[in-house]
Amino acid sequence: MKIALITPASQLHHCMNRKFQMLIPGFEHNLEYKRYFKVFGTNNGNFVMLDNGAFEGSQLNDRDLLDMGREYKVDELCIPDTMGDSVGTLEQLGRFAAVLRHPSRGDTWKPPRLMAIVQGETEDELISCIDAFAADRFTNVIDTIGIPKHLPATTGWDDIRIRLAKWTQTKYPHKWDLHFLGFVAPGETMGAAQLGVRSMDTSAPFVCTADNVSISLHRVPPRQRWFANLGPEYFHPHLVRQNIDDLDLWAVKEDD
């Protein structure tokens, strides 16, 4: 399973040799971060996902998100969603698809791939949301299903993301790639890797290091305020390296 590390600007050197990365709209104010992704997005062989900014509270509207995707030459874009709200998420998906297909866009840039993020407060709502993604009106729109980090806490089921991944693979085999938005626990990461979930994005190795804890021994603390701007003094080199290595190890499929 591929891991996209979300890093403060001071720790971008940990991403230099990683081909799979995620760009966060709310971090764009940091010039070093902005310059890095301007270069990274133009390198052949690299894969950049563009988050929609909802988790950071900086969700862009449809046109601004598409404009940002074009500016950074991203490979996949996360369609706007409403956390915990399947109806609101499907409404946003419908509006986004209409903007994407509108004749006024003409021959302007379109993202190579799109990720729809499943939302809901119960397992039934989440399953209904995925079923709706399969509707004819979204044919040739969705390439990847994103399964968000808040679902275990929201639904009360620790294994909900694994269950959703299994259900989706069974009902819609080979229809979409699957992506886990955020890290929850080592066991879940290992389970996702064994299922063949394509990827996960996370800031956990850096959030844990800034709090001086191991990712393998503690629940991940909340992301620090001004995370994007945290300086190198917050990141002990040995601990951050160990946290990244642990995460990469959990993401390896056993037969790989």
Q: Are 12 and 21 in contact (CB under 8 A)?
A: no
pLDDT by 10s per residue, the chain, length 256: 999 999 999 999 999 889 999 999 888 788 889 888 888 867 778 899 999 987 666 677 888 899 899 999 999 999 999 999 999 999 999 999 888 877 666 667 778 899 999 999 999 999 999 999 999 888 889 999 999 999 999 999 999 999 999 999 999 999 999 999 999 999 999 999 999 999 999 999 999 999 999 999 878 899 998 899 999 999 999 999 999 999 999 999 876 5
Closest Cα partner for 50 from 114, 101, 2?
Answer: 114
Q: Domains of the chain, with CATH numbers?
A: 2-250 (3.20.20.105)
Q: Which pLDDT score is estimated for 74?
A: 93
What is the spatial distance between Cα 149 and Cα 179, in angstroms, rounded to a whole number? 11
Start-to-end C-alpha separation, the chain = 10
Whole-number Å distance between alpha carbons of 129 and 132: 5
State the pLDDT at residue 246: 97
**Which residue intervals of the chain are DSSP H helices?**
31-40, 62-72, 86-101, 123-133, 151-155, 160-171, 186-195, 204-210, 237-250
Could you tell me the pTM of the whole model? 0.94
pLDDT of residue 225: 85
Contact predicate 74/119, CB 8 Å: no
